[in-house]
Structure 1
């Protein structure tokens, strides 16, 4: 069936994606208890495997719209450590805070709000499998170590930092931070492995804002961002930077059991030098790799996106993520179309039987998932291309997340097609990032995956 595309119809897609207001997102899930075992999970089928029970909320694994909080709440935590010397480390936590019954036009959450309503404690363990307490303490909260961050689609952000001492005779430890809302007693927790010996550049340096005050606990910036790579001591040293201009492949199907192809050698596009603890801008989009010692393989990386990233607004970029809900023929027709904008409009209207209202709702929801995936899961490539990003886009936020040292299990319990569905991600070594996870794929996902994709294709999924 063909649909007549008027000029106003052809323009609605990009206007909607560019202008729509994104909904609030919040962290929901659990992280693996330091003593929990995850043995056997990777070898069990997704329909029957039950992830190890955990009592700790996940720090960064998921985000999903939630109802208005009845009390103050920390809805997400993301952590980063910087080794100050071999005896201690500084911990930075990016906190998303939700106030009770927020009102339009209300001032963002401030430092005094946080210090009045929350207390922070921490415990150090040897690792995820050992409950021995190596150290613990209470974090004194004040305007000296709590900073107003920023507000984005996920909520109001504050940044908290504090120092922890290295346990005797151990080079590494697991830090468990507990943030308690004082009136309800509700706790939010974050697990963060710390390497006190700091063998890597990213153990000593991190990305900060132009003022060098607020850490950017993420793997991406935009071409308009002024940034600083700094350490706690303010050391000035040159970093060798390599820019790669490479189009990384998106995630393959959860049912694809074909062995992954060998990694391709990346062609160097350009090189430059930057100084630590001095502001700079990166000149163009691409993957940038920073090293202080070029004889080593490790370093730290940043993905530089356009000025709207993590949101996608250009037709040539909006076309690509729909492959997760498209046939091969549809994908080829879209990418080969002479006018990508019109082709994308035609694609969505065709799926929705010409119903513009249904198409608008589906577009808004799908590209909000894409934006969230970019914000949450960007590594050396865009978040929507990662295995986690693919699952998040199609399935939405997991109902529960369980973590151990080298594994995350996303648990979905509220699906009509199955009582419980688990997606297991194994952590893999990667030159560019620490948080590189690969999905354990199963052919048995097919009876669940395809009906959900079909729901996207007929406009039944919306938020």
Structure 2
């Protein structure tokens, strides 16, 4: 495992704003060209200008198994010279990577000297045999990589890197949420997905889709792991819509089964949610409002950061981030991430390990390595939400 930067102070529930990264590697010049690494940098709740990059330090490493293939020292990673544009309240930088013959993992760590915030991200790099999803990418209307695996209904986008006729399969399937970290059964296997419809598009033209759901874009339908998965979500995603299903379902992690049944059976959304939160906090409207604000704010962040073929809050990383907050320490190896949380009162560490699981829709889906020993940790964290103790951690 490689470790870049450990924070100097820790909280069980790390306070937002948090420094956030998303990465993508694209062979924009084709098979013979060097891959380009794109990094989306955002501080949740803050607006970044290009000049802010001068206060940010970075380091990247290309790792293959346990060996370091290439490393750029932190002082040589000049983010302000790599600016590529703006996306989703964040900045995008790009640089070229060296070429190698076999797959690797790009590990990037960033520290903002102005705020002290820091984090890291891992990005798979498909050296060797390139697939459609390595050569083509989803871009915004200006041609900049979208850096997320969803678009909103009616949002214009393009498939850059090809002008060929492409196949698109559409799925209405609703995926289940993540299982608790002590549930050894882990992620429930979805039934074999059957496309609800199929149609064709051309690459490098403006697109805009109106039907919510999951889409798989392929050049060759026999290339099982070469397609590009893209979700289409209703506004205001990644915020939660004011529709019953979207507003209630993410409460499953901190609710009892009876509470969920009552919420789902309710005819009117707002009164049901008001009763739910006020009952948790014995009528304390101020505390209820603060916890609601924090929970749904973190829900927005996990949807932005971790949505792949299913919504971010339903993924393993999204579940852990939602309940425990941003990790204070991230380490990575080939196809693996470890998140570390430290309780500032007891100095005990909680480590969650995620393994990358490539599927037909994405290279960026990670599943949690589950242990029975997580049970007391999980229920303690849930109690902190249900009793409002999480607010004390943020003071």
* TM-score, normalised by the number of residues in structure 1: 0.72
RMSD across aligned C-alpha pairs, in angstroms?
3.4
Match of 2:66 in 1: 129
Q: Deviations over 1:216-252 (max 9, x none)?
A: 1111111131001102xxx311111111111111112
Q: CA deviation at 1:291?
A: 0.5
The structure-2 alpha-carbon separation of the partners of 1:64 and 1:286, relative to structure 1 and needing over 3 Å to count, comes to farther
Whether 2:77 is the aligned partner of 1:77: answer no
Note if contact 2:141-2:157 (Cα within 8 Å) is conserved in structure 1.
yes
Q: Deviations over 1:80-135 (max 9, x none)?
A: 1112233321222223379xxx8xxxx8512x554x5668776655x141135499
Note if contact 1:418-1:448 (Cα within 8 Å) is conserved in structure 2.
no
Whether 2:49 is the aligned partner of 1:109: answer yes
Match of 2:370 in 1: 441
Which of 143, 148, 158 is the matching residue for 2:91? Answer: 158
Match of 1:55 in 2: 4
Match of 1:386 in 2: 315
Note if contact 1:82-1:91 (Cα within 8 Å) is conserved in structure 2.
yes
After TM superposition, list the pairs within 5 Å mapping 1:222-371 onto structure 2. Answer: 222-231=152-161, 235-258=162-185, 261-298=188-225, 299-316=227-244, 317-371=246-300
SS in 1 for 2:97: strand
The structure-2 alpha-carbon separation of the partners of 1:121 and 1:341, relative to structure 1 and needing over 3 Å to count, comes to closer
Match of 1:374 in 2: 303
Note if contact 2:14-2:328 (Cα within 8 Å) is conserved in structure 1.
no
> Unpaired segments of 5 or more residues in structure 1?
1-31, 34-53, 69-74
Match of 1:96 in 2: 42
The structure-2 alpha-carbon separation of the partners of 1:211 and 1:254, relative to structure 1 and needing over 3 Å to count, comes to same
SS in 1 for 2:377: helix
Which of 407, 430, 441 is the matching residue for 2:359? Answer: 430
| Whole-angstrom CA distance in 1 between matches of 2:241 and 2:151 | 16
The structure-2 alpha-carbon separation of the partners of 1:139 and 1:237, relative to structure 1 and needing over 3 Å to count, comes to farther
Note if contact 1:57-1:189 (Cα within 8 Å) is conserved in structure 2.
no
Q: Deviations over 1:249-298 (max 9, x none)?
A: 11122222346544212242222222111110112110111100012212
SS in 2 for 1:196: coil
User: Which is higher, the Rg of structure 1 or of structure 2?
Assistant: 1
Q: Deviations over 1:380-417 (max 9, x none)?
A: 11111111111122211222122111222221112657
Q: Deviations over 1:121-155 (max 9, x none)?
A: 76655x14113549999788888x62330453xxx
* TM-score, normalised by the number of residues in structure 2: 0.84
Number of residue-to-residue matches in the alignment? 381
Q: Deviations over 1:422-448 (max 9, x none)?
A: 222222232211122222222222222
Note if contact 2:156-2:206 (Cα within 8 Å) is conserved in structure 1.
yes
